[in-house]
Structure 1
Amino acid sequence: MEFDLPYWWLLAVPVAFAFGWLASRLDLRQLRRENRESPKAYFKGLNLLLNEQQDKAIDAFIEAVQHDPETSELHFALGNLFRRRGEFERAVRVHQHLLGRADLASSERDRAQHALAQDFMKAGLFDRAEQAYRALQGTAFETEARLALLNLYERSRDWSAAAETAAALERSGTGSFGTRIGHHWCELAQEADAKGQTQAADAALAKARAVAPHAPRPLLLMGQRLAKAGRHTEALGAWDDLRLRDLPAFALIASDYAASARAAGHAEVAGQHLRAAYEHAPGLDLLRALARLDGHELAAEPGLLPHLRQQPTLSAAQAVLSRPVEQWNSEAAEAVGEAIARAAKPQQRYRCAACGFEAQRYFWQCPGCLSWDSFPPRRVEEL
């Protein structure tokens, strides 16, 4: 039996159309089912995460990734959860998997690289973190990477790299890092001094003063180095600059200032400067320097008791207590008592064992966290 070719064509077209329509319906149903399952698992994980149920949230996100393995956002969410839980190896595997995908957009690749660097940083793998952060140069994460590198270098005490990174951040307009760079060069100066490299220390300190001309630390260190070398008059000059610029910082080396003044024969002028500084900003360090300038201990300083009356601190009270018994009187006893009472007051509280809330009176229910019987029936000083 023979058939004409046009007849077969007329029969084949509707059959092919029917098969195509059936296949598309099956694929569409499967796609809709997968799409319903994936968002459901994702939102379930998000809800668990908001309820601080991280274990269950991770299981939900893993399920969502299995339904839609090509979605990068789910991988990022899963990797960040692993990092927050301290499961750094699993976080690294997730982000390395993202970096290994050939279809990942460049912006998403940079994001995965940044997340991987954070994983290494949190895990304490500083060498690998440094490499990962350096790979982000020229990307949208460059500034964040440099800030992280700056913290990494400071933590590892790599002061040269820290100074270089901070300078790059300042050149990029991120902010002012002059004072921070000054600290880096001061650290380098101290390291050079410890190795006996005087010229290197001088150069580092000069750079510190150049990048941070108003910072107190370079002047403080300069005076200390000059005094150690026996150049007391020059040390006094550096410290006088510090005194005029930053009086609180000057108090840190007030005793050294008094010692250099006695060695250089400038005790009278130094005494005037120390008294003026004390009148402007009374402090025990300045009072101790005045006592050293006069050649006696702090306990014998005539201004100690008035200072204790003005600033009832335990350190001043301890100095008064170190006086000989025959020098004691009712005024000294009263001043010491006031200092001890002031120092003891913060310790005379009850503290909640659940949240740390402190109160002067005892509570059966904590006003802070509303826990019952969470206050131990003993004050902080008795615990």
Structure 2
Amino acid sequence: MDFDLSWILLGLPIAFILGWAASRFDLRQLRMENRQAPKAYFKGLNFLLNEQQDQAIDAFIEAVQNDPDTSELHFALGNLFRRRGEYERAVRVHEHLLSRGDLSRADRERAQHALALDFLKAGLLDRAEEALRKLEGTPFETQASLALLAIFERSRDWPQAARIAQKLEDAGQGSFSARQAHYLCEQAAAQTAEGNNAATHRLLDQALTTAPHAPRPRIDLAALHLRLGEADAAFESLQALLDVAPLSLPLVAHTLCEAAMACGHSAQALSLLKTSYAQDPSLDVLDAIVTLTAAGEPAQEVQGGRDWYLKHLEREPSLIAAAKWIAGEKLEHEQFHPQVQRALDHAARPLMRYRCAACGFEATQHFWQCPGCQAWDSYPARRVEEL
């Protein structure tokens, strides 16, 4: 049987045309599919950069619907929900990611971390703690430990907080000795409330050993000695404080006065206060100097106080010092003195607050941990007027 080569010559162009058409159809379909998802994704990014979060969420939802297997879109959508405070929706997105069997280990750990942040932002501390503990041994372990530390501090679980802080320090994340001392002081305060002075003393001694240069253990120890009637020990504790943390003197100036007068060291305390005031004037130190000066002789009570407040006003303007000076003065129109004094005291009262250097939260008392931002040692020992 003869083989006709004309069929081959005729079939080759036809096969080529059919193959080319099929490849063009597949490429066109693939290009359309690849074009739709990134288009919605980049549209969402554009909305996000323009701070149009509602439109961004709609765009990301569209992108996820077009390509439900893309984990990056789910992460972007979950983070958007969390930023908007829609924590339930964020949790659902990240839990859906964790339920997928095809998710890589890195993405699974990332989704677990995102889920923990959802619970943390929502205030579900128990579920956040459970989620964070699952991140041990992952690249997110340090971040998880810091979040756990914040949880234990917020719930005032000081032993657990101390354990996490020690773990972070052992991992080379910095020194946590000052914070560990705060934890011990907080536990000591709880023991004081229960009347267990022996446990209070033991915890404060431990805090002093943990952070020898931290001011709080010595201040709390001096207060404990005063409550127990041990004025000499309180005075010695405050003297040691001035050696390691002289800037904290304004916080204990009045306690120093009380201890010095109780143990007969008024002259020594007055000398310490004057030396400190000459180097760095402070309103609280000034008040302590006036108190000790007035305690000397009755004739010096008014004159001594007036002179020190005037000296302070000569060095720098101070509404607080002016109000206290006028309080002991005789005005020309004495019948208006109460009204003038009340107005001055009202104007000076906000200036006597303490202000957090981290968030600006103001309070009438000094805090070791800011009630607003939870930062430690963020309150300077100075009043608002002195900052």
Question: What's the TM-score, normalizing by structure 2?
Answer: 0.76
SS at match of 2:213: coil
Q: Which piece of structure 1 moves more, 141-150 or 281-290?
A: 281-290
**Aligned residues of 2:181 and 2:217 also touching (Cα < 8 A):** yes
Q: What is the CA deviation profile of residues 113-170 of structure 1, one whole-angstrom value per residue up to 9, with x for unaligned ones?
A: 1101111111111111111111111110000111111122222222222221111100
Measured in 2, the distance between the counterparts of 1:29 and 1:276 equals 85
Unpaired runs of at least 5, structure 2: 1-16, 296-300, 334-340, 349-387
Q: Which piece of structure 1 moves more, 105-114 or 308-317?
A: 308-317
Is 1:208 the counterpart of 2:207 in the alignment? Answer: yes
Is 1:316 the counterpart of 2:315 in the alignment? Answer: no
Q: How does 1:1-383 map to 2 (within 5 A)?
A: 29-295=28-294, 301=305, 302-325=307-330
Letter in 2 for 1:223: A
For the structure 1 residues 60 and 326, does the alpha-carbon distance in structure 2 shift closer, same or farther, using more than 3 Å as the test? closer
Measured in 2, the distance between the counterparts of 1:56 and 1:172 equals 43
Letter in 2 for 1:70: D
Unpaired runs of at least 5, structure 1: 1-17, 329-335, 344-383
**Aligned residues of 1:38 and 1:68 also touching (Cα < 8 A):** yes
Q: Which piece of structure 1 moves more, 199-208 or 245-254?
A: 199-208
Q: How many residues align?
A: 321
Letter in 1 for 2:135: L
Measured in 2, the distance between the counterparts of 1:207 and 1:26 equals 77
Letter in 2 for 1:314: L
**Could you tell me how far 1:188 is from its partner in structure 2?**
1.3
Query: What is the aligned partner in structure 2 of residue 370 from structure 1?
Result: none
**Aligned residues of 1:291 and 1:298 also touching (Cα < 8 A):** no
Measured in 2, the distance between the counterparts of 1:220 and 1:20 equals 87
**Aligned residues of 2:277 and 2:286 also touching (Cα < 8 A):** yes
For the structure 1 residues 326 and 25, does the alpha-carbon distance in structure 2 shift closer, same or farther, using more than 3 Å as the test? closer
Q: What is the CA deviation profile of residues 216-236 of structure 1, one whole-angstrom value per residue up to 9, with x for unaligned ones?
A: 111111111111111010111
Q: What is the CA deviation profile of residues 270-317 of structure 1, one whole-angstrom value per residue up to 9, with x for unaligned ones?
A: 222222222222212112112222445788513111112212111101
Q: Which piece of structure 1 moves more, 198-207 or 183-192?
A: 198-207
Measured in 2, the distance between the counterparts of 1:74 and 1:126 equals 27
Measured in 2, the distance between the counterparts of 1:163 and 1:291 equals 42
**Aligned residues of 1:259 and 1:293 also touching (Cα < 8 A):** no
Measured in 2, the distance between the counterparts of 1:250 and 1:121 equals 38
Flag the structure with more relative contact order, 1 or 2, with Cα contacts below 8 A and sequence separation at least 6: 2
Q: Which piece of structure 1 moves more, 163-172 or 270-279?
A: 270-279
**Could you tell me how far 1:249 is from its partner in structure 2?**
0.6
**Aligned residues of 1:113 and 1:136 also touching (Cα < 8 A):** yes
SS at match of 1:236: helix
For the structure 1 residues 20 and 229, does the alpha-carbon distance in structure 2 shift closer, same or farther, using more than 3 Å as the test? farther
For the structure 1 residues 170 and 107, does the alpha-carbon distance in structure 2 shift closer, same or farther, using more than 3 Å as the test? same
Measured in 2, the distance between the counterparts of 1:103 and 1:245 equals 58
**Could you tell me how far 1:40 is from its partner in structure 2?**
1.1
Measured in 2, the distance between the counterparts of 1:45 and 1:298 equals 72
**Aligned residues of 2:218 and 2:241 also touching (Cα < 8 A):** yes
For the structure 1 residues 114 and 311, does the alpha-carbon distance in structure 2 shift closer, same or farther, using more than 3 Å as the test? same
Measured in 2, the distance between the counterparts of 1:321 and 1:136 equals 62
SS at match of 1:86: coil
Q: What is the CA deviation profile of residues 228-282 of structure 1, one whole-angstrom value per residue up to 9, with x for unaligned ones?
A: 1110101111100111222221221111111111111122222222222222222
SS at match of 1:303: helix
Measured in 1, the distance between the counterparts of 2:219 and 2:319 equals 27
Measured in 2, the distance between the counterparts of 1:21 and 1:198 equals 91
Measured in 1, the distance between the counterparts of 2:65 and 2:84 equals 21
Measured in 2, the distance between the counterparts of 1:41 and 1:236 equals 71
**Could you tell me how far 1:82 is from its partner in structure 2?**
0.7
Query: What is the aligned partner in structure 1 of residue 363 from structure 2?
Result: none
Q: Which piece of structure 1 moves more, 233-242 or 173-182?
A: 173-182
The percentage of counterpart residues that share the same residue type is 51
SS at match of 1:149: helix
Measured in 2, the distance between the counterparts of 1:189 and 1:20 equals 83
SS at match of 2:200: helix
**Aligned residues of 1:300 and 1:323 also touching (Cα < 8 A):** no
SS at match of 1:227: helix
Measured in 2, the distance between the counterparts of 1:161 and 1:86 equals 29
**Aligned residues of 1:92 and 1:116 also touching (Cα < 8 A):** yes
